[in-house]
Amino acid sequence: MNADTTLPTTAATQPLLRAENISFAYDRDLVVQEVSLDIQAGEFAGIIGPNGSGKSTLLKLMAGILEPDTRNVLFRGTDIKTCPRKKLAQSIAWIPQEHHMPFPFKVSEVVMMGRHPYLSAFTFEGDSDYEIVQHALEQTQTAAFAERHFNEISGGEKQRVMLASAIAQQPEAMLLDEPTSALDLKYQVELLKILKDLNTTRGVTIAVAMHDLHLASKYCRRLVLLKEGRVIKDGTPEDVLQKDILERVYEVKVKIFRDDTDGSFMISPEAS
Ligand SMILES: Nc1ncnc2c1ncn2[C@@H]1O[C@H](COP(=O)(O)OP(=O)(O)OP(=O)(O)O)[C@@H](O)[C@H]1O
């Protein structure tokens, strides 16, 4: 067995990801404060909260991109800092909010980057890698512009290409930072349907930062509400999307409507 890809065998009993009372500051002020959060394998969790509440930062900490100042993030019970990088790159896909490539890569090449954690320094992509990439391009409806340069496509097209790259990565978990922010109505729903399908049919764990509370309540089985870097409420959409909680956290009066067809919630801010 290759030691580089081995993780502890006790892993199955642990949450996939655990933030154990972590705090983090970019400079002086803490932007994540004493957050304890377990993400179990197979969950579909939404991270919600006002601008600047720490959603992106928390996801970056959970993905091992940033290191907490205090305490640790554990991946299957092991401090994420000490996990073999290759195994981590195969296991966790991170989809950031902003995408820019430093070189003029084609869309197909960006999607192929999802396969890189599986290749060694001296191996080239094989037929199965190309098949996986082609399937990911088709699944995200990005195959039509696979030969265009990534930096020359629209923001919404980039978001779908980054999802394709994450699908090609075949990870255990996808952490996504506002993946629908640049998408039109059709593709917002398409992207969330793809995530739901990956979650239900392949067991991919999803943690996604979202501003659209209606879509969050429609697709996420759990919502974690942040304010000023702290978890204010963590539970089902019904537990979290309550008038008094939302008004306190977002500092605006809201009306909440329930869609009886799927149980989702529509939140309408009221002009004061
Ligand atoms: N690279 C950085 N350097 C310094 N401060 C940062 C950096 N990134 C974020 N911050 C600050 O950290 C805080 C949390 O930001 P973060 O992006 O995590 O919040 P967010 O909830 O994702 O916000 P939004 O909904 O606006 O995307 C904010 O006050 C932000 O200004």
DSSP for 56-85, written as a single string: HHHHHHHTTSS--SBS-EEETTEEGGGS-H
Q: What is the pLDDT of residue 122?
A: 72
Q: What is the pLDDT of residue 1?
A: 35
Q: Enumerate the H helices of 63-178 as residue ranges.
A: 85-91, 107-112, 127-139, 155-168
Atom number in ligand 1 closest to CA 27: 4
Q: What is the pLDDT of residue 100?
A: 78
How is residue 11 annotated by DSSP?
A: G
Cα of 54 vs centre of ligand 1, distance in Å, is 6
Atom number in ligand 1 closest to CA 57: 18
Atom number in ligand 1 closest to CA 32: 14
Q: What are the tokens at 111?
A: 């999607």
Distance between CA atoms of residues 86 and 69, nearest Å: 24
Q: How far apart are the first and last CA of the chain?
A: 64
**Which residue numbers in the chain have pLDDT < 50?**
1-10
Contact (CB, 8 A) for 208 and 195: yes
Cα of 195 vs centre of ligand 1, distance in Å, is 25
Cα of 109 vs centre of ligand 1, distance in Å, is 30
Q: Which of 164, 214, 213 is nearest to 191 (CA)?
A: 164
Q: What is the pLDDT of residue 12?
A: 54
Q: What is the pLDDT of residue 5?
A: 43
Which protein residues are within 6 Å of ligand 1, measured from CB?
Answer: 26, 31, 49, 51-57, 209
Cα of 230 vs centre of ligand 1, distance in Å, is 13
pLDDT digits (tens, 9 = 90+) for 100-156: 787 889 999 999 999 988 887 677 777 899 999 999 999 999 999 999 999 999 988
Cα of 49 vs centre of ligand 1, distance in Å, is 12
Q: Which pTM value belongs to this model?
A: 0.92
Q: Using CA positions, which residue lies closest to atom 16 of ligand 1?
A: 54
Cα of 132 vs centre of ligand 1, distance in Å, is 34
Q: Using CA positions, which residue lies closest to atom 10 of ligand 1?
A: 26
Distance between CA atoms of residues 66 and 16, nearest Å: 18
Atom number in ligand 1 closest to CA 59: 18
Contact (CB, 8 A) for 265 and 213: yes
Q: Using CA positions, which residue lies closest to atom 25 of ligand 1?
A: 51
Cα of 131 vs centre of ligand 1, distance in Å, is 37
